[in-house]
Amino acid sequence: MALRNIRHDEDEILRKQSKLVKVFDDRLKELADDMIETMNHAEGVGLAAVQVGILKQMIVIDIGEGPMVFVNPEILETEGSCDDYEGCLSVPGYSGVVERPEKLKMKYQDLEGNEHELETEGFLTRVICHETDHLKGILYTDKAKEMYTNEELKAKLDKENKKKEAK
């Protein structure tokens, strides 16, 4: 396993469409392992292959339940809507409010090429949507209703928490 360099928002590759994975081999598994290691090292919860400079439709996610790998992910259905804060390893130092579905149904392949379907809700849905947007060349900043530096967001949330505690 190896740490890969995470591309940042000014890098043109992040605006390109990722290609379908057609070859399921040891190199793909090595890429997945590297992506998981890179994501964990950067303290992220998701990473798309394009973020490490590889135009393949593959994302890795770990929201605290162990790493998951999705190859050629496709969102089939969504339900509901909610706004929440998001950040991105490719846009360090910033967070934004983004509207995402509350639930989704998706299909994907595993590292062996086997097809699966998955229904999710909550935070996992948000992360899947964020990461699959990367595969289409879309950054969360394109969809953000509000943007903050991480310092501004921390101050805003601290202020909101103090108001709640005062009640």
Burial 103-138 (b: 16+ CB within 10 A, else e): ebebebbebeeeeeeeebeeebbbbbbbbbbbbebe
Asked if residue 91 has pLDDT above 90, the reply is yes
Q: Is 146 a catalytic residue?
A: no
pLDDT at 166: 81
Closest CA to 18 of 74, 77, 99, 79: 74
* Amino acid present at 67: P
% of the chain residues with pLDDT over 70? 100
Asked if residue 45 has pLDDT above 80, the reply is yes
Of 12, 131, 152, 160, catalytic: 131
Q: How confident is the model at residue 162 (pLDDT cuts 50, 70, 90)?
A: confident
- List of residues 6+ apart from 126 with CB closer than 8 A: 84, 86, 100
CB 74, CB 92: distance < 8 Å: no
**What Cα–Cα distance (Å) separates residue 142 from each residue in 15, 18, 61?**
11, 18, 21
Please give the average per-residue pLDDT across 81-97, as a whole number. Answer: 96
pLDDT at 165: 85
Closest CA to 132 of 4, 18, 35: 18
Q: How confident is the model at residue 68 (pLDDT cuts 50, 70, 90)?
A: very high
Residue 94 phi/psi, 5-degree rounding, is -130, 155
Q: Higher-confidence residue: 29 or 150? A: 29
Average pLDDT, the chain: 96
Please give the average per-residue pLDDT across 20-46, as a whole number. Answer: 98
